[in-house]
Amino acid sequence: MSAGHLHILGIGGTFMGGLAQLARARGYTVTGSDQKLYPPMSDQLELAGIEYHEGHDPATLPEAGPVVVGNVMRRGMPVVEALLDRGLDYTSGPQWLAEHLLRDRWVLAVAGTHGKTTTASLLAWILEYAGMNPGFLIGGVPGNFGVSARLGDAPFFVIEADEYDSAFFDKRAKFVHYRPRTLVLNNLEYDHADIYPDLAAIERQFHHLVRTVPGEGRILVPAGDAALERVLETGCWTPVEYLSTDPDSATGVALAARALNADASEFEVLADGAVVGRVAWSMSGRHNLANALAALGAARHAGVPLAAGIEALPGFRGVRRRQELRAEIDGIRVIDDFAHHPTAIRLTLEGLRGQVATGGRLVAILEPRSNTMRMGVHAEALGAALARADAVHLYHAPEIDWSTDGLQRQLGEQLSVARDIESLLQGILATVRAGDTLVIMSNGGFDGLHLRLIDALQGTPA
């Protein structure tokens, strides 16, 4: 028996598509629309038996609500105007999720500028390994699950919690709806320049989130993050656990990790200064040590012993589009990464540096696609981040309204700029050589560059 009909505007996004799958699992008949839908979300929706339409035709609106409105929808769009003119019942995705799925769950939320998807995926996997069958909604596809959302068994539910606004009619950050009992604050930097004027405005939203965590809950924070310290100093009513990837200099931390090799793919876990376990896994980079510590600490708060969490880590299969190896052809590795901010770009390149073959190069291929990157807010910091690569190919899309001259001065011959995808592709192919590691960085589809590049390297006609 159906729990009712739910129509979703903007169903192709990772959050809204995940919500659609959860509603379908709860028994709703789910339909929706989006401007364009791409794998893996289009595949997941079809697998779940969810009917969707490409394009926001007002004719696809149901006769009655509720309609869940994604934050990509804006006033002036014909479908939004039709929704309002017809007086249909509507709500935001975060609010619907909170009212219908999270109300009676132990919510473990992962927030921060970087690492949310990987940390949430790690946390869900540790809980799964411990036999807890958690529900989750994650902004990516964890390799251990193959889907971005699952209803799971009560009480535990893991959610990737971001500070983007909820809808055109609800400008609160999405994460204030979730009321977590366990909260991970990974890090905090300036981002989302299309919404927030400065870092202080984002810190205010994070403090709104902190205000929702109960006194019997837990907040996990990396030691030494100045922005997060300012958030907590504004007021905190919940026990805080501090984490560190530099155990030799940090004091007062609950959990720490010490890298044992150059790419940090092997490390020790310390609790209150004492070594409690050792991990060798497929991930790399110190940022992933931080992600692992946060997941271990959050899982421990939910009842998973540290030993069990540490035992789970080597079985973690990563996340699609997070340092994901897509192909290896004639000694050339093609890696897909979601990096959307200079810090994420720097961390990705530093993490991969130790994996480059002798005589090979680390080649960064970047599409500055996020709203903040397109606006040029981080243009100055971008050069220092990309300098970790041996060569850089930058796609300067028509909608980018900042000059790459400063970047060219910083990187010199290391940088090649293309203004169309075909020129970008040909520039890569003209210079690539055996032993190179090609890292494609974009938080979008990059106009199919990944497959086009792989096909070209394999000699397959486009």
Which CATH number do you get for residue 394?
Answer: 3.90.190.20
Please give the pLDDT value at position 430. 87
Q: Domain for residue 279, yes or no? A: yes
CATH of residue 24: 3.40.50.720
Instruction: Dump pLDDT digits (tens) for 308-356.
Output: 999 999 999 988 777 788 888 888 988 888 776 777 788 788 878 777 8
Mean of pLDDT values over 441-450: 76
Q: pLDDT tens digit string along 56-85?
A: 999 999 988 799 999 999 999 999 999 999
With a CB cutoff of 8 Å and minimum separation 6, the contacts of 418 are 393, 394, 395, 396, 424, 427
Span 157-174, average pLDDT: 94
Q: Is the pTM of this model over 0.85?
A: no
Q: Has residue 99 been placed in a domain?
A: no
- Compute the Cα dihedral for 258, 261, 262, 263 and give only its sign: negative
252 inside domain: yes
CA atoms lying within 13 Å on the CB side of residue 278: 4
- What percentage of the chain carries pLDDT values higher than 70? 95
Q: Are residue 86 and residue 113 in the same domain, yes or no? A: no
Evaluate whether residue 399 is within a structural domain. Answer: yes
Q: Are residues 127 and 53 in the same domain?
A: no
Local confidence band at 370 (pLDDT 50, 70, 90 cut-offs): low
Res. 8 pLDDT band, cuts 50 70 90: very high
Cβ count within 10 A of residue 273 = 12
Give the pLDDT band of residue 51 (cuts 50, 70, 90).
very high
pLDDT at 3: 78
Where residue 377 falls among pLDDT bands split at 50, 70, 90? low
- Please check whether residues 83 and 113 belong to one and the same domain: no
Is 70 exceeded by the pLDDT of residue 172? yes
Q: Is the pLDDT of residue 245 over 90?
A: yes
- 419 and 374 in a common domain: yes
Paired with 206 in beta bridges are: none
- Asked if 142 and 317 touch (Cβ cutoff 8 Å), the reply is yes
Report the domain count for the chain. Answer: 3
Rounded-to-integer distance, Cα 253 and Cα 289, Å: 15
Q: How far is CA 29 from CA 7, 37, 282, 387, in A?
A: 8, 19, 39, 50
Which of the 8 DSSP states describes residue 263? T
Flag whether pLDDT at 398 surpasses 80: no
Report the alpha-carbon distance of residue 184 to residue 158 in Å, rounded.
11
- Pair (54, 161) in one structural domain: no
Comparison of pLDDT for 455 and 301, the residue scoring more: 301
Output the CA–CA distances (angstroms, integers) from residue 357 to 27, 297, 436, in the order listed: 50, 35, 7
> Distance between CA atoms of 211 and 94, rounded to whole angstroms?
17
Residue 376 banded pLDDT, cuts 50, 70, 90: low
CB 438 within 8 A of CB 452: no
| 298 within some domain | yes
Is there a contact between 260 and 232 (Cβ–Cβ < 8 Å)? no
* Per-residue confidence band for 192, with pLDDT thresholds at 50, 70 and 90: low
Q: Are residues 137 and 279 in the same domain?
A: yes
Residues 79 and 148 in one domain: no
Say whether both 292 and 400 belong to one domain.
Answer: no
Does 98 reside within a domain? Answer: no
Residue 24 lies inside a defined structural domain of this protein: yes
Taken in order 401, 406, 412, 414, the sign of the CA dihedral is negative
Domain end residue (candidates: 65, 93, 121): 93
Is residue 55 domain-shared with residue 114, that is, in the same domain? no
The reply to whether 308 and 335 lie within a common domain is: no
Residue 382 shares a structural domain with residue 294: no
52 three-class SS: strand
Domain-ending residue, one of 278, 293, 315: 315
Domain range for 111: 104-315
**Do residues 84 and 114 both lie within one domain?**
no
Q: Which residue, of 93, 123, 155, is where some domain finishes?
A: 93
CATH code for the domain in which residue 304 is found: 3.40.1190.10
